[in-house]
Structure 1
Amino acid sequence: MTKHMTDKYHNYSSFYFILKTLISVVFWMFTLIIFSNTTTTDNNVRFTPIIPTIYIHGYGGVFNSTEHMIQAAEKSGAAKKTLIARVAADGKVSYSGTWDFTQKNPIIQVLFENNTAEIPAEAKWLNTIVEHLKSAYAISEFNLVSHSMGGPVTLYWALHERTSSSPTLKKFVPIAGPFDGVIYIDDSPNTNSLASNGKPKIQDDAYRRYYQYRMRFPSETHILNIYGNLEDGTNSDSLVTNVSAQSLAYLLKKHVASYQELMIKGASAQHSQLHNNSEVNRAVIKFLWNR
């Protein structure tokens, strides 16, 4: 090999060595960027989890029953609505919107066409949606925000519809949940009371069944129970007494990962105003996404 050819060979070798080094550096920089916000599972597989939050309305609820809360979450930059799940009267679910695999905290807004259905029926429909999220998008955990009867619906789902293979309910925020009666139906202001251990003095049939099956509720769940007090002497939000809302603690407080309560006071704590309340919005956003 001549000196000219030798020099040319070395030049090419140096060029390819530098190119290979640059490619390697770029590759590892790209890898670090991709996994900079990941979590590590027990088997050391790293991934960025997608944790959706389901919003469900209460008895007689409509689009606006949860829309203001969803808009507040979007405005905060913490989450974004990606799907609306519409449940027909026969239980069939149709979806509108586009699932975004780059959105870490997607929101699914649930609308029941039969918005006065019984709790077991709505719990079954909720399960259909949860299972769809699992099969279609490989979701392993989710959060849920409910208003009014949506709270007992979620509780019933957890106790009777959820299975060992269901996605984990990571965080649960019931707002104005009537867990032990509703005013004008089977409760009245200042009639019931809580013992020092949180046990309600008067328990309706549904509450006694909840208690019977309470240990089925997922122990991994973190709960923020929000309820309203008009401070008008009724100790209620006009429809749900504080005792009824707080009775959830006796069922689950010692069983779940964490349990906390937030009382909203004043005129804006009225039952139907709680899902339009800025204090509620801030508390929900902080609890779910630490924003």
Structure 2
Amino acid sequence: MRKHIWFLLAFVALALGAAQPAPVLATIQRQVPTLYLHGHRSGPRAMAAFIKTAQAEDHATSVLTATVNNDGAVKLHGRWPVASHRPLIKVVFKNNRTLRYGKISDWLAAVITTLQHRYHIRRFNIVAHSLGNAAVLFYELRYGQYTQLPQLQKYVAIAGNFDGVPGVHRPRAAHRMGPGGKPPWMAPAYLQAMHMRSHFPKYQVSVLNIYGDLGDGRHWDGKVNNVSSRSLRYLLGSRLRSYEALEFTGPLAQHRLLRTNPAVIQATDHFLWP
């Protein structure tokens, strides 16, 4: 039951808010925001290169930082004027060490429902790095079917550990994809996602899946195997509106450096705002 607590609380809050007279600005439609979500043991500056480039080259506007504490309480910092062009929102989990996918997806749900209640958003895009992708995936598997919530449109997954991390969920060995892109080994969370994938919104979400290969013959970015990152297609391919994968190589394809790699940032922005 605990996994639905945040959704129920948020839904009640929205219902109570709807019972009050709506302010005039609530009827004005804001542009679709893009949320940036960091990975394990990262923090407020992790996705700064994406936001800085989007502002400088794509006429985007950084509007808010949403900080979530361990209890799921959300604090918003900044201003979001109605006329903001391509609004950008940084999402920060104060507890950046947990590996509990249900918990981090609840934290993301708290952010999204807070933005819905405060700013009346209906749709959103998201860019996630590393473990942040687990929050996105399990948020959509658990809450994506609720059409009264804001709906995900575009999703950029960077260095996603969809089928586990070597040395944590699976052996440290190179693996190759099986027939049809099926991963040769499935982590417990991936098996759980397989059982829930019918909950993922159908033909709604466009995905750009970015991963790195250091070129040392191990087919990984120094932390996550390419098989794990690429396993997203086998998991969700039949549910997606579109899917594209990009492999980056060389020193800047290292797991942490992917989020500051100019080519990765350029590909992300072109996908979001072609």
Band of TM-score, shorter chain: 0.7 to 0.9
Match of 2:147 in 1: 164
Match of 1:215 in 2: 198
Q: Distance in 2 between matches of 1:78 and 1:198?
A: 37
CA offset digits 1:199-256 (Å, max 9, x no partner): 1111111111111111211220000000000011110001001000000000111211
Match of 1:194 among 169, 174, 177: 177
Summarize the alignment of residues 247-262 of structure 1 with structure 2, pairs less than 5 Å apart. Answer: 247-262=231-246
Match of 2:269 in 1: 285
Counterpart residue type for residue 73 of structure 2: K
Q: Distance in 1 between matches of 2:213 and 2:175?
A: 15
Consecutive unaligned residues of structure 2, counting only runs of 5 or more, are 1-27
With structure 1 as the length reference, what TM-score do the two structures score? 0.81
Summarize the alignment of residues 267-278 of structure 1 with structure 2, pairs less than 5 Å apart. Answer: 267-278=251-262
Match of 1:4 in 2: none
Q: Distance in 2 between matches of 1:134 and 1:63?
A: 22
2:73 is the counterpart of 1:73: no
- For the 8 Å contact 1:228–1:269, the answer to whether it is kept is yes
2:137 is the counterpart of 1:155: yes
- For the 8 Å contact 2:74–2:114, the answer to whether it is kept is no
Secondary structure, counterpart of 1:253 in structure 2: helix
Secondary structure, counterpart of 1:250 in structure 2: helix
Counterpart residue type for residue 63 of structure 1: P
Match of 1:106 in 2: 87
Counterpart residue type for residue 131 of structure 2: M
Match of 2:18 in 1: none
With structure 2 as the length reference, what TM-score do the two structures score? 0.86
Counterpart residue type for residue 119 of structure 1: Y
Counterpart residue type for residue 197 of structure 1: G
Identity of aligned residues (%): 35
CA RMSD of aligned residues (A): 1.4
Which protein has greater RCO, CA pairs closer than 8 Å, 6+ apart? 2
Consecutive unaligned residues of structure 1, counting only runs of 5 or more, are 1-46
Counterpart residue type for residue 75 of structure 1: A
Which structure has the greater CA radius of gyration? 1
Counterpart residue type for residue 209 of structure 2: N
Following TM superposition, by how much is the alpha carbon of 1:93 offset from its aligned partner in structure 2, in angstroms?
A: 0.9
